[in-house]
Copies of this chain bind each other. A is one copy, B any other.
Amino acid sequence: MLKKNSFEDNKRPLDVLNYAKNKKVVVYLKNKTIISGLLRALDIHLNMWVDDADVQTDDKTTKFGRILIRGDTIIFVSPVEE
């Protein structure tokens, strides 16, 4: 399961999202909300600008054309493979 050769030593965690710019990401928040949409920009606080966002809370999904997510509400983020 180890892929040692693929390791690039000077990579930083936030590069995960730099590579994901303009692609779809899914964001899991501390309050159990899940947001998916196109990542447009991020900063070192993990504040994220997301377009075409689906915000899923409990049993309800709300659509937003554009949102700014505050970074300190995030647990983890994943680029969506397509």
Contacts known (A67-B76, A67-B77, A75-B73); A3 close to B30, Cβ less than 8 A: no
Residues of B within 8 A of A53 (CB): 78
B72 with A13: CB separation less than 8 A: no
| Count of this chain's copies in the oligomeric assembly | 7
Number of interface residues of A (CB under 8 A): 54
* Per-residue interface assignment for chain A, residues 1 to 27, with 1 indicating a CB less than 8 Å from any chain B CB and 0 otherwise: 111101101011111110001111000
Contacts of A11 in B (CB 8 A): 40-41, 49
**Chain A residues packing against B (C-beta within 8 Å):** 1-4, 6-7, 9, 11-17, 21-24, 29-31, 33, 35, 38, 40-43, 46-49, 51-53, 55, 64-79, 81-82
